Amino acid sequence: MTSKPDFLKTVAILLCITPVTAIALTSSVTFYTSSTQVPEGSSVAINQPLTIESGNSKVYMQRGQAMSRIEHTYEPYCYFATKRPKAEMKITATLQPTAFTVVKEYRRRDQTASLPYDVATSVSIGVSIGSGTWLARAEGGPQNLNYYMKLSNDSQSPVTALVCGVYAQPDERGIPTIDEIRTAVGSLATITIAD
């Protein structure tokens, strides 16, 4: 049987080690849910050349302007995701005007587990990690509420998807509406909904 001083020593060690190990437990969890903002068969067109900065694989759009990153944190945004070989990531690329068909669409909440701020939170995370419920308890805070439109066309375009989202509390709002999506892309892109 463990003596009381040994037990307290063990608890003290766990309280010191858990916050240190919890720092390394930053991860991303995704929740998939069906939705229909832009149904399959709809079209998305890039209306003018869009520049992808070196080192990036996306071109962001907010308030109808193209940019290399999101500039207005809590406003809806969109980006064209691309497949760029690693060798091409060192140079600037340009997406040429072209049309795509939406072949799949889905909604996704991207969340990153936050670092613990106090010992009690760390102990809770450490104790429940084996049961898989640790992230559900640490789920608070804003999340990227993204809407994915997988794109396809006949050209050799590197574009794979148009992703539109907003960084917000999921209990306060959902993914961007079609009007918010159109405001984010402005005249840079056109979205035509299939009948």
Q: Using pLDDT thresholds of 50, 70 and 90, give the confidence band for residue 37.
A: confident
Strand 159-168 relative to strand 50-52: parallel, antiparallel, unpaired?
A: unpaired
Average pLDDT over residues 91-109: 93
Residue 188 in this model has a pLDDT that exceeds 90:
yes
How many Cα atoms occupy the beta-carbon half-sphere of 84 within 13 Å?
Answer: 21
Give yes or no for a contact between 186 and 61, defined as CB atoms under 8 angstroms apart. Answer: yes
Q: What is the pLDDT of residues 123-178, one digit of tens each?
A: 334 333 433 333 444 456 888 899 999 999 998 889 999 999 999 988 888 899 99
Give yes or no for a contact between 101 and 154, defined as CB atoms under 8 angstroms apart. Answer: no
| Residue of 32, 47, 10, 3 whose CA lies nearest to 110 | 32
Residue 35 in this model has a pLDDT that exceeds 60:
no
pTM of the model: 0.70
